[in-house]
Every structure is written in C-alpha cells, then in structure tokens.
Amino acid sequence: MGLLRVMMPPKLQLLALLAFALAMFFLENQIQKLEESRGKLERAIARHEVREIEQRHTQDGLRERDSSSSALSEREDDVVIIYNRVPKTASTSFTNIAYDLCGKNHYHVLHINTTKNNPVMSIQDQVRFIKNVTEWREMKPAFYHGHVSFLDFTKFGIKKKPIYINVIRDPIERLVSYYYFLRFGDDYRPGLRRRKQGDKKTFDECVSAGGSDCAPEKLWLQIPFFCGHYSECWNVGSQWALEQAKYNLVNEYLLVGVTEELEDFVMMLEAALPRFFKGATELYKTGKKSHLRKTSEKKPPTKESIAKLQQSAIWKMENEFYEFALEQFQFVRAHAVREKDGELYLLAQNFFYEKIYPKN
C-alpha cells in the first residue's frame, strides 16, 4: 500500500480515498438498513407470537367455558325429584303442575303406581326402583311421584341421592277428606266409582258410632310415609316412628309444604328448582286444572267429633308431626318470601362475595 501511494499521483490517491470512504459509507448504510429491517422483523414476529398466545388463551378459555357449561348442563340434566305424595293433601293438584310444565321445561314425569296403592315396596322392588331412578338416563331429568313411603337410597350404596319433596295436611282434615272421597269421589274424575260409593253415613255419624273408617288408627299415615320402609314405621302409635319421620323431614327433604299454604310451596320450589318449576307460580294462579281438586259432598265435622278424635294418642302424635313440619315450612318461608298488598314475592339474593384472594 505504501508502495502504491509512492507510485500513484496525489490526485489519484485522493480519488482512491474518496472512493473508499464512499464505499464504507454505503456499506454502513446498508448494514443499518439491515439492522432496522431485522428489528422490524423481530418486532413483527414478537407481535405475531403474542397474538398466537392470546388466541390460544382465548380458545382455551372458550373450551373451558364450553366444558364448564356442558358439565353444568349435564349436572342439571342428572337431577331426579321424588314426590312421595301423601293421599288427600292436594297431591294431584300439585302433580298436575309438574305435568303441565314438563314439556316446556324439558323433563320427564313418571307416576309410581304400586299394586293396591301399597306404600311399602318389597326389597326386590326397592332395588329395581333405585336402579331405574339412578341408571335410566333416557328419563333424566325426572320427576317421580306416587303414594310410596320414603326410601333411603344410601342403604343401597347410592352416593348421589334424589331430591325429595312433599306436602302434608292437618291430620283430621286429611282424614275427613279421605272419608268423603271414598264415598263421593271428587271433581277431578267425577264419573269414577269409588270403593265406598253408596254409603251415605256422614263422618260425624261414623265417629259417633265408632266406625272403622273414621277411627283414630286411620290418622296414622303421614308419620309412616316420612318414616319409611322400616317395620316400626307402620306400628301405629310408635314414638320411634315419629322421631324418625321428623329426622327424615329435616335431613332428607329439600322442602315440605302444607296443603293450606300450597301457593307458597309452589313459589319456593320455583325459586329453588327453576329447571323443573319455572312458570309454576303463574300456572298455579291461572291454570284451569291446577288446581285445586275438591272432594265432593264433604261436610265439615262438628266440634264434638273433632274433640273425640283429639283425645287419642295417635292424633296427638300425628298432630305433633304436622306442627313440626308446619313450623319448619314457615321458618323456610320467612327467609324466602314476603307479602305486600296481598301479593307474595320472593326475596332477592342477599349474600355476596368479598375479600377474594389471591388477587390477579
């Protein structure tokens, strides 16, 4: 290089240096452009990766939400309600509401019709029934109803139990209604011939004569229906049966209403189980067949007849159970329903969540 500088004229040396400088400037400019292009590319790649991550998170969230929604739907569709209805407690009126709503609310209603309305199932029928209730998926969600005493599913190794509901009635009023029903039927199926049709004896006359159809033993029904399939449940006047019935009412039933306040019962069921009872309250108020089924030719008993029945230990036990159920129902209602200007309305949700940790 030094030799070239010696041999080259000064002008050429200057031109060579200028050309070299231009070449270096051009190269540096190209390198800078490449660096800028690489930076843009890296930023574009980074933005693309962020979008991909966000998209994956969104898709995962949607899948989780869909999965959660599907799981919730499956849980709702796996619900079974059992209404082991006590005779002459407005059970047909209430069941008609379930029949009216089942198509609209998409569930099945199944009537448990036992031979001669026997409320106690054989051990083999208990197993068959429990197998149907738990495994008959084509019929779920389901509303089962029938004159059957309480059946404890846990005895058969079933972890997911059905939801029990029921309605009971003042024991003497229930017996009087049943007495006349057997003789005159009701306005639900007026043409059907009843077992005691033709017997014109009034309830008061039956009590006065000491007849079997109005005997205190006939009051023993609501206790065994709630007590269940134990032999002691059906021993008339059993204190053990009374306590077991109370235990089951509190621990095994979602809600037990009373005939005298059936609208409140329907309203609370609609609030608690809308999957089944959405629209039930309005239907109860306006429906043509919902709803109350009335026994024909029923005559209220005299004070003397009532007083005579109330002397029996059986009435005292059945009435104790009724009062126990009524107190429990009124307690639940007081925390769920209010009355204003003669109209009932449900209380709004009055709990909320706070201090949720960890904070995101």
From 147, 229, 291, 335, active-site residue: 147
Query: In Å, how far are 147, 224, 247, 262, 267 from 238, measured between CA atoms?
Result: 21, 10, 14, 29, 34
From 111, 145, 229, 291, active-site residue: 145
Query: How many Cα atoms within 13 Å fall on the side-chain side of residue 58?
Result: 6
Which pLDDT score is estimated for 186?
64
Query: In Å, how far are 208, 231, 256, 321 from 328, measured between CA atoms?
Result: 35, 26, 8, 11
Judged against a pLDDT cut of 70, whether residue 191 lies above it is answered with no
C-alpha span between 174 and 165 (Å, rounded): 18
Query: Could you write out the DSSP letters of every residue in 191-255?
Result: TSPPTTTT----HHHHHHHT-GGGSGGGGTTHHHHHH-SSGGGGSTT-HHHHHHHHHHHHHHEEE
Beta bridge partners of 223: none
Provide mean pLDDT across the span 321-338.
95
Interval 242-275: pLDDT, tens: 999 999 999 999 999 999 999 999 999 999 999 9
Which pLDDT score is estimated for 71?
47
Residue 72: pLDDT band with limits 50, 70, 90 = very low
Model confidence, pTM: 0.77
Nearest alpha carbon to residue 160 among 138, 183, 130, 139 = 130
Average pLDDT of the chain, as a whole number: 86
Residue 291 falls in the annotated catalytic set:
no
Of the spans 27-36, 111-120, 237-246, 289-298, which averages the highest pLDDT? 237-246
Which pLDDT score is estimated for 128?
96
C-alpha span between 174 and 309 (Å, rounded): 13
Residue 62: pLDDT band with limits 50, 70, 90 = low
Judged against a pLDDT cut of 50, whether residue 142 lies above it is answered with yes
C-alpha span between 31 and 34 (Å, rounded): 5
Residue 343: pLDDT band with limits 50, 70, 90 = confident
Stronger pLDDT, 194 or 204, i.e. the higher one: 204
Residue in the structure block whose two tokens are 């904070």: 359
Judged against a pLDDT cut of 90, whether residue 325 lies above it is answered with yes
Residue 147 falls in the annotated catalytic set:
yes
Residue in the structure block whose two tokens are 């026994």: 295
Pairing of strands 337-340, 343-346: antiparallel
Q: What percent of the chain has pLDDT over 70?
A: 83
User: What's the chain's length in residues?
Assistant: 360
Interval 106-123: pLDDT, tens: 999 999 999 988 999 999
Query: In Å, how far are 134, 136, 157 from 142, measured between CA atoms?
Result: 10, 10, 20
Neighbour tally for 336: CB within 10 Å = 16
**Backbone φ and ψ of 338, nearest 5°:** -130, 155
At residue 63, the 3 state secondary structure works out as helix
Which pLDDT score is estimated for 346?
86
Judged against a pLDDT cut of 50, whether residue 282 lies above it is answered with yes
Residue 176: pLDDT band with limits 50, 70, 90 = very high
Residue 80 in contact with residue 163, Cβ under 8 Å?
A: yes
Which pLDDT score is estimated for 137?
93
C-alpha span between 159 and 88 (Å, rounded): 32
- Helix boundaries (H) for 78-120: 91-105
Q: From the centroid of its chain, how far is CA 109?
A: 14
C-alpha span between 185 and 192 (Å, rounded): 7
Stronger pLDDT, 28 or 82, i.e. the higher one: 82
Judged against a pLDDT cut of 80, whether residue 12 lies above it is answered with no
Residue 33: pLDDT band with limits 50, 70, 90 = confident
Lowest mean pLDDT, pick from 66-70, 116-120, 277-281: 66-70
Query: In Å, how far are 50, 51, 60, 66, 148 from 63, measured between CA atoms?
Result: 20, 18, 5, 5, 44
Provide mean pLDDT across the span 324-343.
90
